[in-house]
């Protein structure tokens, strides 16, 4: 059997991984700047508070990506014979749980503010000696929290597909969709300015709702990953075609009568086994070695695939 290899991605994807890390560092620095800018413009608006909290949550994905890419490359040990690939899943689980909980807290907070009829007071801000309405300052902060985010997300999406990285994908998707949150908040400041105070609470509820939805979607996926759901494409819409390709390859071998395979995702990589009923066991070791190499050759993501010759297929 081929011993497990420990580099996480093949040489031709190292460039993409390095680029993804760069982008995540850039994202972390950018979000830190957004947090400061938003804090300075914050004021009493509930929608602004919610948007600010959402910006802070935006740090979870880049930080967990940067942390886990360090961990997942560690070699397997006696204590952790399957290696550390699942560090990515743990980061993903923790991040999405945080998203869900904070979303719920913000929703309750916004709901209470709306129910109590709390009205946001937005007054004067002085920028370099020029008195202006603080609402314009908030809008400017929100534009900074929105526009660069959109482009960062767009740059990260193709890398996430290439690297088959779900944390990166979720992050890119969130960034790309950020313009909706930002625009909704800008709109709410404008509507408050028109004298409709309830717009603040109402839009903060919408924002919190979308955080909850995001958290729920991601949490469900993280739990499914940890429960060894069959591999999905990185956008989670479909079954990963790789499963069918492995099955076809093995079923097509002349010495294989029947085959059943199981694959599970551990972070970027796939582990799995095939149970084979063989037509003949002549020269079986060489056949198994060839078949294993062929399966490993299908895709870099298949790291540790085990073939077992059995006389009865498991359920």
Partner 1 sequence: MKVVLLSSGLLLSLLGAGLRFLAGNTHFPKDPECTLTRVRHGTLRVGYTQAAPWVVPAGAGPQGIEPVLVRALARHLGARIEWVPGTEQHLYEALKQHQLDLLAAGITDESPWKEEVGLTRPYAQTTVYVGASPGTPAGVVVRGQPVAVAAGTDLGHYVREQQATPVPVGQLPGGHFLAAGYEWQLPRWGYRRLGPPLKQENHVLAVPPGENAWLLAVETFLYQQHHEVHRLLYASPTYPAP
Beta carbons of 289 and 306 less than 8 angstroms apart: no
**Closest distance to partner 1 from the beta carbon of 124 (Å):** 4
Q: Which of 71, 82, 133, 216 binds partner 1 (CB under 8 A)?
A: 133
**Closest distance to partner 1 from the beta carbon of 114 (Å):** 13
Considering only residues 35 through 74, tell me which ones interact with partner 1, judged by CB under 8 A.
44
User: What separation in angstroms does the CA of 161 have from each of 29, 41, 151, 203, 217?
Assistant: 23, 36, 17, 33, 19
User: Which listed range, 194-202, 205-213, 224-232, 241-249, lies at the site for partner 1 (CB under 8 A)?
Assistant: 194-202
**Closest distance to partner 1 from the beta carbon of 23 (Å):** 19
Determine if 121 is a binding residue for partner 1 (CB under 8 A).
Answer: yes
Beta carbons of 260 and 313 less than 8 angstroms apart: yes
Determine if 126 is a binding residue for partner 1 (CB under 8 A).
Answer: yes
Quote the tokens at residue 83.
């290696």
Determine if 235 is a binding residue for partner 1 (CB under 8 A).
Answer: no
Determine if 194 is a binding residue for partner 1 (CB under 8 A).
Answer: yes
Determine if 127 is a binding residue for partner 1 (CB under 8 A).
Answer: no
Give rounded-to-5 percent helix, strand, coil for the chain. 65, 10, 25
| Contact track, partner 1, 147-166, x by CB under 8 A | ---x----------------
Identify the CA nearest to 122 among candidates 131, 141, 135, 139.
Answer: 135
Q: Which residue, 100 or 199, has its beta carbon nearer to partner 1?
A: 199
Identify the CA nearest to 113 among candidates 202, 7, 187.
Answer: 202
Determine if 228 is a binding residue for partner 1 (CB under 8 A).
Answer: no
Determine if 111 is a binding residue for partner 1 (CB under 8 A).
Answer: no
Q: Is the dihedral of CA 229, 232, 238, 239 positive or negative?
A: negative
Considering only residues 264 through 293, tell me which ones interact with partner 1, judged by CB under 8 A.
none
Report the relative pairing of strands 302-309 and 269-278 from DSSP bridges.
Answer: parallel
Q: Which residue, 52 or 92, has its beta carbon nearer to partner 1?
A: 52
């Amino acid at each position: 059997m081929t011993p497990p290899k420990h580099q996480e991605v093949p040489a031709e994807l190292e460039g993409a991984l390095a680029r993804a890390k760069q982008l995540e560092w850039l994202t972390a620095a950018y979000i830190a700047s957004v947090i400061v800018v938003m804090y300075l413009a914050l004021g009493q608006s509930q929608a602004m508070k919610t948007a600010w909290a959402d910006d802070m949550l935006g740090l979870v994905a880049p930080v967990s990506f940067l942390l886990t890419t360090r961990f997942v490359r560690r070699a397997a040990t006696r204590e952790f014979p399957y290696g550390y690939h699942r560090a990515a899943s743990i980061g993903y689980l923790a991040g999405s749980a945080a998203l869900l909980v904070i979303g719920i807290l913000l929703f309750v907070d916004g709901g209470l503010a709306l129910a109590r009829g709390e009205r946001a007071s937005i007054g004067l801000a002085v920028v370099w000696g020029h008195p202006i309405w603080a609402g314009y300052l908030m809008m400017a902060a929100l534009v900074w929290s929105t526009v660069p985010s959109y482009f960062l997300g767009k740059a990260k999406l193709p890398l996430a597909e290439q690297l088959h990285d779900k944390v990166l994908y979720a992050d890119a998707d969130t960034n790309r969709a950020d313009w909706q949150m930002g625009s909704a908040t800008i709109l709410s400041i404008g509507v408050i300015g028109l004298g409709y105070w309830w717009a603040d609470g109402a839009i903060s509820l919408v924002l919190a709702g979308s955080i909850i939805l995001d958290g729920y979607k991601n949490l469900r996926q993280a739990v499914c990953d940890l429960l060894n759901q069959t591999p999905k494409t990185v956008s989670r819409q479909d079954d990963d075609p790789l499963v069918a390709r492995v099955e076809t390859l093995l079923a097509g071998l002349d010495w294989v009568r029947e085959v059943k395979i199981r694959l599970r995702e551990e972070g970027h990589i796939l582990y799995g086994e095939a149970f084979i009923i063989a037509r003949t066991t002549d020269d079986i070791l060489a056949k198994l070695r060839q078949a294993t190499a062929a399966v490993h050759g299908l895709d870099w993501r298949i790291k540790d695939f085990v073939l077992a010759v059995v006389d009865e297929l498991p359920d």
